[in-house]
A and B are shown apart, each in its own frame.
Chain A
Amino acid sequence: MAEERSVRGELIPFLVAALVCDAAVSDPSTGKKNLIGIFDRVNVRKFPGKRAMSLYLKVTDAEGDYNIEVRYVQMSSGKVLAQAQGKLHATNRRASVDLLIEFPPLPIPVEGRYEFQLWANSVFLGTTSIDAVEQRQS
């Protein structure tokens, strides 16, 4: 059997969608993806806080092999607080690929904006963010 050769992806993939949610499941019969609890803001009672989050990414126009990296960054300081890494092998640039990163509780040190950055072969492809706000006591 011919072994599939690893070819570094030269095309810059296009980020179609990036959404932060509580969970995501794939329908085993159709492959359709279901995102549960999409959000863009976190109410925190007391800083520092932590929260588990999932990140759904859809990319297209990828061909070859890519080292994928997702960085969770505190925007005010630029500090990377967590990261996810993996390999992506794409054979058809016209098809799209669904990525899911199930982060364990992520640190939310202070009020502000936090960004999920997608990198492929060290090229910055796009971003989505959440805002952490202090939950006022009523």
Chain B
Amino acid sequence: MATATKIKQMGQPPAIQSPEAVTSDEEFRKLLVTPVSRGYGKTDQPVTVPHQALLGFVRDGRLRVYSPIRVKFTQEGQHIIAEAVEFNEFGFGENVSEALTDVQHAIVELYFTLEKEQERLGGDLQNVWGKLQKMIHVR
């Protein structure tokens, strides 16, 4: 025998007050702008290569840089070479940004390769893996 299910009519639920969304930083922090260059219309400007840079990111959402990575730049003909000094990793490109992006990818690849192979690393690579772990953490 089928049993009739009693449906209890519920009263209207109390109106939920929508929480107000605000931000932790109430105002924009504004920076002062200073133009630094003249004669920008010239297209034959030589490529500007900085001597070195301190990297605070590696373009990979899985990794956070906790200690700046020192990168040295050199120019060979039309190419720029970026060297992550502590890890002996290199990146190449037609300009500084490309070389930097390339060396960042190399560092990420090195990190995950050494992490995977950490039980089988020789002395030199153990040393590099130790440095990487101090400077870069998984998020």
Contacts and interface: CB of A to CB of B under 8 A. Distances in A.
**A and B part of one assembly:** yes
Interface of A: 11-15, 24, 26, 30-33, 47-48, 68, 70, 73-86, 88, 92, 95-104, 107, 109-110, 115, 120, 122-127
A15 to B, nearest CB: 7
Interface of B: 20-37, 40-43, 45-50, 53-57, 64-68, 94-98, 100
B92 to A, nearest CB: 15
Contacts of A74: 40
A98 B96 CA distance: 28
Contacts of B35: 81-82, 104
Nearest to A81: B37
B36 A30 contact: no
Main secondary structure of the interface of B (DSSP, over half): loop
Contacts of B97: 73, 75, 78, 115, 127
Main secondary structure of the interface of A (DSSP, over half): strand
A75 B23 contact: no
A31 B35 CA distance: 30
A123 to B, nearest CB: 4
Contact of B23 (A12, A32, A77, A104): A32
A77 B75 CA distance: 12
B45 A79 contact: yes
A107 B37 CA distance: 9
A33 B40 contact: no
5 contacts: A31-B24, A75-B97, A79-B45, A82-B34, A124-B57
